[in-house]
Amino acid sequence: MFDSLGAFVPGGNMTFEGAEKGPLKGFGFAVKDIFDLKGYVTGYGNPDWQSRRRPAKDHAEVVQKLLDAGAMVIGKTITDEFAYSLNGQNMHYGTPANSEAPGRIPGGSSSGSASAVAGGLVDFALGSDTGGSIRVPGSYCGLYGLRPTHDRINRTGVLPLSDSFDTVGWFARDAWLLHLVGEVLFEGKADADKKPEKLLVAVDAFDCLDLRSRGALKPHLERLEQRLGKADYITLNPDNLSVTSLYPAGEAPGGLAGLADIFRVIQGREIWCAYGEWMTRVKPRIAPDIQQRLDWVATITDEQLAEASEKRVLFVARLNSLLSDKALLCLPSAPGIAPRIKDEAEVLAIHRSKLLALTSAAGLGGCPQITLPLGTLEGCPLGLGLMGAKGSDLELLAFAESFCGEEEQQSLSQF
């Protein structure tokens, strides 16, 4: 296979045939380089990690499940180092091309998987979503992508980053295929009695966007209201929960930035517990921005972790209450279109903070969230997100397929 996009790891054109029959027969998929493929080293986006690991003895369970359903593995894709970035840039292996927004980053850390799907090299691809690594590349590359309910899909054979947030997700160019893969992985179909009936709009999430980005998503929000009825406009974090011990007295941020703080502290401690000893001993060569974050996670105190954990409980209770009664929560998948590849590191760091303000809610709550490639701005994709209650993954996928099918018909009727 010719990799015209730089989406696959060096030597990553390995293939595995799927079963002779199955619902996914005829479809090819790529695998992010955090998933085990039998006989190959799982590289985690870093040569120093890869050189110290042995080939996997078995496929990751989710990979085997897709093979058993007839799908074919077509290569292993680039990830940001240790899956700890949202940019999609890897200083060792390069930046996979964003065919839908040339000259702009693909988003990470499932960068190669998003690039391969958007560029038509594969039909769908596995990635992971801890802090937005499906939703962000999906938005930037114009793809459908699902971050599922936490622990709904088995992660055996998948390298961890932050255990209480890690999920296995996937991309597709079409809502129906995203849904079909979901039916295989969840081993079932949507329950008609649980289909969404209520729409919530997170005002503080849309406030994170500039006016032009809001304008790009507004028509699709209006169509959601036509489908589900007038929305309830809510504030996700009305109590301004944040980790106050990170800041001098009186300077803790409010709003969704506060949720991002809670997320970062818990995630950071889990990362350090998983990899701190190895990082300290091996001292691998890592991109400066990722190294800076790893240096920071080593400083997280027990007090900060306790405060963040307590406030997570409070937020999860609120989110579960909001999403009861078959509600869907609408929020942007990203604060805008993909930044340019040549943007300065400081610009990308600021953008990352805005991203985490939008993506942290689903992670903290363990809820499924889908990104829909509905908006465009300056010729670039901009995703709209829908979050459902825990366990509502199949209903969310079915709704997305139905709703986006109607959107396509309306678009075609205009020509």
Tens of pLDDT, residue by residue over 172-229, are 999 999 999 999 999 999 999 999 999 999 999 999 999 999 999 999 999 999 999 9
Residue 343 · residue 103 · CB < 8 Å: no
Gap between the Cα atoms of 180 and 397, Å rounded: 9
The predicted structure's pLDDT at residue 408: 59
pLDDT at residue 415 tops 50: no
The predicted structure's pLDDT at residue 405: 83
Residue closest to 175 by CA, chosen among 389, 374, 17, 5: 374
Residues in CB range of 283: below 8 A, 6 or more apart: none
Lookup: tokens for 393: 């993954």
Task: Record the pTM.
Answer: 0.97
Would strands 28-32 and 72-77 be described as parallel, antiparallel, or unpaired? parallel
Q: What distances in angstroms separate CA 230 from CA 225, 233, 281, 327, 344, one per listed residue?
A: 5, 9, 56, 12, 41
pLDDT at residue 414 tops 60: no
CA 318, 324, 325, 330 torsion-angle sign? positive
Gap between the Cα atoms of 381 and 99, Å rounded: 11
* Mean of all residue pLDDT scores within the chain: 96
Gap between the Cα atoms of 164 and 350, Å rounded: 25
Gap between the Cα atoms of 121 and 197, Å rounded: 37
- Could you list the active site residues? 32, 109, 133
Tens of pLDDT, residue by residue over 34-78, are 999 999 999 999 999 999 999 999 999 999 999 999 999 999 999
pLDDT at residue 412 tops 50: no
Gap between the Cα atoms of 42 and 35, Å rounded: 7
Residue 358 · residue 334 · CB < 8 Å: yes
Gap between the Cα atoms of 175 and 127, Å rounded: 17
Residue 116 · residue 148 · CB < 8 Å: no
Lookup: tokens for 311: 């406030």
Q: How confident is the model at residue 409 (pLDDT cuts 50, 70, 90)?
A: low
Q: What distances in angstroms separate CA 78 from CA 85, 114, 169, 279, 346, one per listed residue?
A: 12, 10, 15, 21, 23
The predicted structure's pLDDT at residue 1: 65
The predicted structure's pLDDT at residue 407: 61
Average pLDDT of span 9-37: 97
Residue 234 · residue 200 · CB < 8 Å: yes
How many of the other CB atoms lie within 10 Å of CB of 333? 32
Q: Which of 132-141, 237-246, 378-387, 406-415 has the lowest mean pLDDT?
A: 406-415
Residue closest to 377 by CA, chosen among 146, 210, 255: 210
Architecture of the domain defined by 15-186:
Alpha-Beta Complex (3.90)
Which amino acid is it at 90? N
Q: What distances in angstroms separate CA 414 from CA 244, 345, 403, 407, 409, one per listed residue?
A: 51, 42, 17, 11, 9
How many of the other CB atoms lie within 10 Å of CB of 408? 12
CA 98, 101, 104, 106 torsion-angle sign? negative
Tens of pLDDT, residue by residue over 129-182, are 999 999 999 999 999 999 999 999 999 999 999 999 999 999 999 999 999 999
Residue closest to 395 by CA, chosen among 186, 226, 255, 229: 186
Residues in CB range of 162: below 8 A, 6 or more apart: 130, 131, 266, 267, 270, 271, 274
